[in-house]
Structure formats: structure tokens, C-alpha cells
């Protein structure tokens, strides 16, 4: 009987296929550890399997501050997921989801979030101190680089 209970508990704790170990940081600063399945490109969400409780939850970028999947770090801004490519005073990001037009709910009231500019795979510079996100492409690079790296006096 004890062996059967241990086998059952071990089977429940195993994540399904396509789940990877990771951490989520929620807006109330709590950290969840478990397994994550990535649906960022499909519908701007992830499925989080909490190893502590064993419960699965679907979380959107609006419900998270950041997350780690294996060794890859992501930040969530205005409902979108961004892969962190490089860090310093500024973050160099790559957009991995498009949450524009996706409803978020305030109780039963749907609120449509505009998300961020740009498309999936576009690159951005983000200043965490000013909370300023700037699209970097061939049209904007001449303006973004001088304003981001050379401080005006």
C-alpha cells in the first residue's frame, strides 16, 4: 500500500511532455518554482505547473513580472513576453509574443490591452529605471542609439 502511494505521488509530480523547469515572478513579488510550458508565440501565455502544490495554471504576460525557463530569462511588459538577450544599465530584448487585442479581465469586465509596438522577433532597448521601451529597427536605430547611449547635457 505504501509503495502504491509513493508511485502515485511520483507520477503526479512528473511534468508532461514539453514542460521545462523554471521560475515565475508574480506582481506581488512571490516566486513560484515548477515546470513551464511555453505558449508565448501562440497566445501570449504559459502553463505553469507548481511543484509545491501540483496545480497547473495558465498565466499571461499581464499576470507576471518575469520568468525563467531553463537558463533563458524573460521579462513581461504590457502583457507581452520579451526574451532578455543582454543586460547592463539597459536591457536588450527580443519580443516573443503579441498580446495586442487580447482581453484581460478586471473581475468580469474585459479590458483590451494594446500590448507593445513591433512584431514577434523585433528587438528593443529597455531602460528599467525610466521604464522606457524603444523599438530598434532600421528605421529607428539612428534615433534610438544616440538617445539611449549618449546622455544629453
* Contact yes or no for 123/116 (Cβ under 8 A): no
- Residue 95 in any domain: the answer is yes
Cell of 151: 546622455
CA distance 76 to 97: 10
- Residue 115 in any domain: the answer is yes
pLDDT digits (tens, 9 = 90+) for 25-40: 999 999 999 999 999 9
pLDDT of residue 141: 81
Predicted model pTM: 0.81
How much is the average pLDDT of 108-137?
85
Q: Confidence band (pLDDT; 50, 70, 90) for 146?
A: confident
- Residue 124 in any domain: the answer is yes
Question: What's the angle, vertex CA 82, arms to CA 53 and CA 36, rounded to 5?
Answer: 25
- Residue 39 in any domain: the answer is yes
- Residue 126 in any domain: the answer is yes
pLDDT digits (tens, 9 = 90+) for 57-74: 999 998 999 999 999 999
pLDDT of residue 128: 93
Q: How many domains does the chain have?
A: 1
Question: Which residues form the domain of 103?
Answer: 16-149
pLDDT of residue 9: 43
Mean of the per-residue pLDDT values of the chain: 84
pLDDT of residue 64: 95
Q: Confidence band (pLDDT; 50, 70, 90) for 150?
A: confident
Q: Confidence band (pLDDT; 50, 70, 90) for 107?
A: low
Amino acid at each position: 500500500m505504501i509503495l502504491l502511494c509513493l508511485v502515485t505521488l511520483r507520477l503526479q509530480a512528473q511534468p508532461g511532455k514539453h514542460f521545462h523547469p523554471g521560475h515565475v515572478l508574480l506582481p506581488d513579488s512571490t516566486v513560484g518554482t515548477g515546470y513551464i510550458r511555453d505558449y508565448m508565440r501562440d497566445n501570449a501565455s504559459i502553463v505553469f505547473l507548481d511543484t509545491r502544490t501540483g496545480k497547473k495554471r495558465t498565466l499571461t504576460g499581464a499576470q507576471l513580472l518575469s520568468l525563467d525557463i531553463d537558463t533563458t530569462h524573460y521579462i513581461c511588459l504590457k502583457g507581452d513576453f520579451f526574451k532578455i538577450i543582454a543586460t547592463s544599465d539597459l536591457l536588450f530584448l527580443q519580443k516573443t509574443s503579441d498580446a495586442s487585442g487580447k482581453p484581460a479581465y478586471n473581475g468580469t469586465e474585459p479590458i483590451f490591452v494594446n500590448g507593445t509596438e513591433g512584431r514577434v522577433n523585433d528587438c528593443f532597448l529597455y531602460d528599467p529605471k525610466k521604464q522606457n521601451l524603444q523599438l530598434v529597427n532600421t528605421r529607428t536605430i539612428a534615433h534610438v542609439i544616440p538617445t539611449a547611449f549618449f546622455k544629453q547635457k
